[in-house]
């Protein structure tokens, strides 16, 4: 389910009075459950240490999404809350859909959110990145990483990454970080080039000659970016990833 582009009045983030908004919750805000005691304590600690990372949503002056954050800010005696205005002409079912989407996304990892946002984009213009970033609560840079990874991985692995069933094995632990995947793939390009250089040196040649090195770089990129799909899949599945 994708959010309508015209949910938001603008991308501008405003400052609101926490005490005032503490008692102005829209009925649809009840669709999201209140946090348990332990989770709420963690939220208050996060707000105290890092500040508010995601604006709440206001519809006609009432909190539609973000009552846990408003309450946590109130209890930690912080005077202001960041918010984004929704358009005044939205229907009740629009608000319900938006709140449901927001709650669903909070259960996704940053990688899953970035891939979801990427899938909602109609083009790769800067303004479209900003729209997707606002709609999905993920940075434009992270969405750009998702785009890059979508070109590096076979389609079925990229879909598995989106579902949360694919991880990178790193020093005995697992991660789905887009940045880690990109860095690992870059490292593998270097590995391929080094192997080519070793092979070349055995034959008494030098891959550092401009023409040879450039050709080797093109071959490495070809191997890792889809032009030699079977080789890439075998290398990735055997050395890089594991699934749940």
- Tokens 């799909």 -> residue: 229
Residue % of the chain over a pLDDT of 90 = 23
Mean pLDDT of the chain: 77
Is residue 178 a contact partner of residue 149, using CB atoms and an 8 Å limit?
Answer: yes
Confidence of residue 241 (pLDDT cuts 50, 70, 90): low
**pLDDT band at 39; cut points 50, 70, 90:** confident
Looking at domain 5-107, which of 3.90.1530, 1.10.20, 3.30.450, 3.40.50 is its CATH number?
A: 3.90.1530
Q: Among 20, 78, 72, which residue's Cα sits nearest to residue 44?
A: 72
pLDDT at 53: 82
Mean pLDDT of 42-58: 88
Per-residue pLDDT, 1: 39
pLDDT, position 158 = 87
pLDDT reported for residue 2: 44
Number of other CB atoms surrounding residue 192 within 10 Å = 19
Averaged over 165-177, what is the pLDDT? 73
Q: What share of the chain in percent tops pLDDT 70?
A: 69
Residue 221's pLDDT band, with cuts at 50, 70 and 90, is low
Tokens matching residue 174: 């697992």
Q: Where are the beta strands (DSSP E) in the chain?
A: 14-17, 56-59, 62-65, 80-85, 166-170, 173-175, 241-243
| Average pLDDT for 103-124 | 82
Q: What is the pLDDT of residue 12?
A: 83
Average pLDDT over residues 111-132: 86
Comparing 38 with 2, which gets the higher pLDDT? Answer: 38
Q: Domain residues of the chain, as ranges?
A: 5-107, 109-151, 160-243
CA angle 29, 34, 40 (to 5 degrees): 130
Half-sphere exposure of 160 (CA within 13 A, CB side): 14
Where is average pLDDT lowest: 35-44, 81-90, 93-102, 167-176? 167-176
Can you give the pLDDT at residue 85? 92
For the chain, how many residues are written? 244
The answer on pLDDT for 151 being more than 60 is yes
Global confidence as pTM: 0.49
Residue 108 vs residue 63, higher pLDDT: 63
């Amino acid at each position: 389910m994708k959010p309508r582009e015209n949910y938001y009045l603008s991308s501008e983030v405003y400052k609101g009075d926490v005490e005032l908004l503490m008692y102005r919750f829209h009925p649809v805000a009840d669709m999201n459950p209140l946090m348990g005691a332990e989770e709420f304590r963690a939220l208050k600690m996060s707000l105290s240490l890092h500040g508010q990372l995601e604006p709440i949503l206001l519809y006609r002056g009432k909190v539609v999404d973000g009552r846990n954050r408003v309450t946590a800010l109130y209890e930690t005696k912080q005077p202001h809350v960041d918010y984004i205005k929704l358009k005044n002409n939205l229907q009740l079912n629009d608000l319900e859909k938006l709140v449901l989407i927001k709650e669903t996304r909070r259960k996704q990892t940053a990688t899953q959110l970035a891939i979801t946002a990427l899938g909602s984009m109609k083009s790769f213009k800067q303004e479209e990145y900003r729209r997707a970033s606002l709609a999905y609560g993920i940075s434009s840079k992270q969405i750009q990483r998702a785009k890059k990874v979508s070109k590096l991985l076979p389609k079925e692995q990229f879909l598995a990454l989106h579902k949360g069933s694919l991880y990178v094995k790193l020093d005995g632990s697992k991660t789905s970080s887009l940045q880690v995947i990109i860095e690992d793939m870059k490292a593998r390009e270097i590995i391929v080039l080094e192997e080519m250089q070793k092979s070349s040196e055995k034959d008494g040649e030098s891959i550092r000659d401009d023409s040879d090195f450039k050709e080797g770089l093109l071959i490495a990129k070809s191997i890792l970016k889809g032009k030699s799909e079977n080789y890439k899949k075998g290398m990735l599945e055997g050395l890089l990833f594991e699934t749940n």
